[in-house]
Amino acid sequence: MAVPVHIKIVFRGVFSGTPEQWSFGQHYSADVIASPDAEASDVRLDDCATAFDTWLHVAQAQFPSSAKLTDIRAYKIGTDGRMEGDPNIFDATTLNIGGASSVVYPPQIALVMTHVAEHRGPARFGRNFLPTSAPVGSDFRISTSVADNIMAQWVGFLKDVSDCVDLAGGNSSELLNISASGPGGARQTVDHVEVGRALDTLRSRRRSLLEERRIGTHIDW
């Protein structure tokens, strides 16, 4: 699997009081013309944590209080699609980061953020599946006004995280969509964000939580 060289930043956490975990990650540009590529160590993860905290202060109504951030990781991804060198890891367990909402969904319910590039073809779309407490209306979807607010907050967060990647010459890193399609893979810079109003399901977020069925007594028909 060949892909363009880039930086991957992953936010990981847990659903407090359960064995379940959550994570989401993004791809950022690492290259600058006539300068060395950025490495994982060039990502200021403490500032990424600040960006996450800042985002939650405005988005906490849509992010469940049970979803706690535990660590942030940065990886340099080489052309073979594998990590180069060591990861850069920031322990966030001591931070008081978490949302606040009275809406509680099962851990597999997710708010889908779609990152859309300008051109059709490989790397046109990228997605993040976020833990959520966004309320739904009578049509079982989040409202357009809530979706628009979420979108503005998310774009601010993405831009803050991109600023945490130290590129040579003070250049700005860009959010990318990455695809392994084609001989050398494909990359496109994200043009805009789209928010799914219908909440989705991410089954991998309920791997350990037991159904724990209650067993009834014999039915005398």
Q: What is the mean pLDDT of residues 175-191?
A: 94
Q: Let me know if residue 69 belongs to a domain.
A: yes
Calpha distance 180→78 (Å, rounded): 12
Q: Let me know if residue 17 belongs to a domain.
A: yes
Cα-based distances in Å from 29 to 8, 143, 157, 181: 9, 33, 16, 18
Q: Let me know if residue 109 belongs to a domain.
A: yes
Please report the pLDDT score of residue 62 as a whole number. 87
Q: Let me know if residue 217 belongs to a domain.
A: no
Please report the pLDDT score of residue 56 as a whole number. 87
Judged against a pLDDT cut of 80, whether residue 1 lies above it is answered with no
Torsion, Cα of 135, 55, 207, 66 (10° steps):
-70
Q: Let me know if residue 148 belongs to a domain.
A: yes
Q: What is the mean pLDDT of residues 41-55?
A: 95
pLDDT tier, 33 (very low <50, low <70, confident <90, very high otherwise) = confident
Cα Rg of the chain (Å, integer): 19
Average pLDDT over the chain, rounded to whole? Answer: 92
Q: Let me know if residue 214 belongs to a domain.
A: no
pLDDT tier, 98 (very low <50, low <70, confident <90, very high otherwise) = low
Domain with 24 in it: 6-205
Count of domains observed in the chain: 1
Q: Let me know if residue 55 belongs to a domain.
A: yes
Q: What is the mean pLDDT of residues 44-53?
A: 95
Judged against a pLDDT cut of 80, whether residue 77 lies above it is answered with yes
Q: Let me know if residue 164 belongs to a domain.
A: yes
pTM listed for this prediction: 0.92
Task: Check if the beta carbon of residue 113 is closer than 8 Å to that of residue 180.
Answer: no
